Amino acid sequence: MKTELPLTADFQPPSVLPAEPDFSGSVALGARFHAAIPGGAHTYAKGDDQFPEQMAPYIVRGAGCRVWDVDGNEFIEFGAGLRSVTLGHAYAPVVAAARQQLELGVNFGRPAVLELETAEEFLDFTRAGDMVKFAKNGSDATSAAVKLARAYTGRSLVAICHDHPFFSVDDWFIGTTPLRAGIPAAISSLTVSFFYNNLASAEALFAHYPSQIACLLLEVEKDVPPAPGFLQGLRRLCDREGAVLIFDEIITGFRWHNQGAQACYGVRPDLSTWGKALANGFSLAALSGRRELMERGGLHHPHDRVFLLSTTYGAETHALAAARAVLHEYQTQPVVDALWQTGRQLAEGLRQAAQEQGVAEQVQAVGQPCCLVYTTRAADGQHSAAFRTLFLQETLRRGLLMPSLIVNYSHTPAVINEVLERLYDVLGVYRRALEDGVEQYLRGAPVKSVYRPRN
């Protein structure tokens, strides 16, 4: 259990700057990574181009909210596993459950009883539908939801929220980004978009493409909350137009509420996709929803069959065991409450430090406390890749691996106070860079957007 401490910190510049980390081992490994793996990483968001030059650590282990790299550097980490590790690295009850199952076998020629037990527990826990099917990643689950919607409605067009950055690695979504190489235009043309908190934009799509839109797909919430009536309006619109409403809860699930962000706002979709926190970093995702739709991928209906999430590794038993342990922790420990409370402490502390350092307009915590990101603006108020790089550079120098401000259950109030002390000094460098020019403080080129057509 967490020790309760005040939600604000008494900010003072650290008396001694931590020893400069040595990244020579990571730098030496870079060429090998890029020789063996396209992009040097299996996830673009973890790539070298997302971190300052010569300061992209390769990790060897983690415990709680801390990780250690090949050079022995220790970092307090945020956004662990791209938000998937919500309890903490190597969280003992989850590891124990997975280890016990590993000794019993992980994959068989028929369904394991554990598949049924986990499915029933998931549905009871989330209340997000009548049936569920497991997969290994959120992209597959979300693409499966799109396929079900198309089969159920007999329509081809998919309407996605323009303001949300990622739904799937598959062509129907990536074809809408600048990374369109290898994707036929005919596929990209089947995806259209509407805007978050703009119900009129969704209504306009249905008017422009009558009886052609299979589904509306969006995250329940990202950086800004839904406007009053917006989600309810989408629900009514889909009911009226005969379209399927799909909520992407890959990030919001198990962070906003035990039953997902849909429970926070009281709007239930037809289909939901889940992942990230579901198994605390183990590879597991889920598609859940109304029986009428989900059964199209089953054996008990008279309609054309949908080939739905039939994967060799979709129900590996050690990942399911990990998920059951996660569900148990969420049921017996105040995980979600702690995520919100710790995030509030971090956001308020950052606000206070930024104000004291004179950068309150440039560096701000954005989003709900349970899933915070930060802004890095230049003096003109515009987003700046150079200043983001500076922020990453200076936090890494002080033992913080901080591509976001996203906390997990292992970030105690005492840890956050330690982080805020280090951030105070980081923001002092930021202020001087605003005054003197950021190029005088950067050690390399600015980071780049993942969504870019050329390197």
Q: Is residue 298 helix, strand or coil?
A: coil
Q: What letter represents residue 335's amino acid?
A: V
Q: Which pTM does this prediction carry? A: 0.94
Q: How many CA atoms lie within 13 A of 87 on its CB side?
A: 25
Q: Report the chain's mean pLDDT, rounded to a whole number.
A: 95
- What the chain holds in terms of domains, given with CATH numbers, is 24-90+334-440 (3.90.1150.10), 107-315 (3.40.640.10)
Measured between its terminal Cα atoms, the distance across the chain in Å is 46
Task: Evaluate if residue 5 carries a pLDDT over 80.
Answer: no
pLDDT of residue 18: 58
Asked if 227 contacts 197 with a C-beta cutoff of 8 angstroms, the reply is yes
pLDDT band with cut points at 50, 70 and 90 for residue 1:
very low
Dump pLDDT digits (tens) for 273-297. Answer: 999 999 999 999 999 999 999 999 9
66-69 and 74-77 beta bridge pairing: antiparallel
Dump pLDDT digits (tens) for 297-329. Answer: 999 999 999 999 999 999 999 999 999 999 999
- Average pLDDT on 88-115 reads 98
In SS3 terms, 231-283 reads as HHHHHHHHHHHCCEEEEECCCCECCCECCCHHHHHCCCCCEEEECHHHHCCCC
Instruction: Give the span between the Cα atoms of 237 and 77, in whole angstroms.
Output: 41
pLDDT of residue 19: 74
- Average pLDDT on 105-115 reads 97
Cite the beta strand spans of 290-333 per DSSP E: none
- Average pLDDT on 370-380 reads 98
Task: Evaluate if residue 446 carries a pLDDT over 80.
Answer: yes
Instruction: Give the span between the Cα atoms of 262 and 247, in whole angstroms.
Output: 8
Instruction: Give the span between the Cα atoms of 164 and 222, in whole angstroms.
Output: 7
271-274 and 400-401 beta bridge pairing: unpaired
Dump pLDDT digits (tens) for 193-222. Answer: 999 999 999 999 999 999 999 999 999 999
Burial class (CB in 10 A: 0-12, 13-18, 19+), 329: middle
What DSSP element (H or E) covers 52?
none
pLDDT of residue 432: 98
pLDDT band with cut points at 50, 70 and 90 for residue 13:
very low
Which residues lie closer than 8 Å to 18 by C-beta, 6 or more apart? Answer: 397, 398, 399, 422
**Tokens found for residue 359:** 């950068």
**Tokens found for residue 261:** 């962000």
- Per cent of the chain over pLDDT 70 is 96
Task: Evaluate if residue 4 carries a pLDDT over 60.
Answer: no
pLDDT band with cut points at 50, 70 and 90 for residue 17:
low
Counts of helices then strands in the chain (DSSP H, E): 15, 13
- The length of the chain is 455
Written as one string, the DSSP assignment of 185-196 is HHHHTTEEEE-T
- Average pLDDT on 137-163 reads 98
Dump pLDDT digits (tens) for 151-199. Answer: 999 999 999 999 999 999 999 999 999 999 999 999 999 999 999 999 9
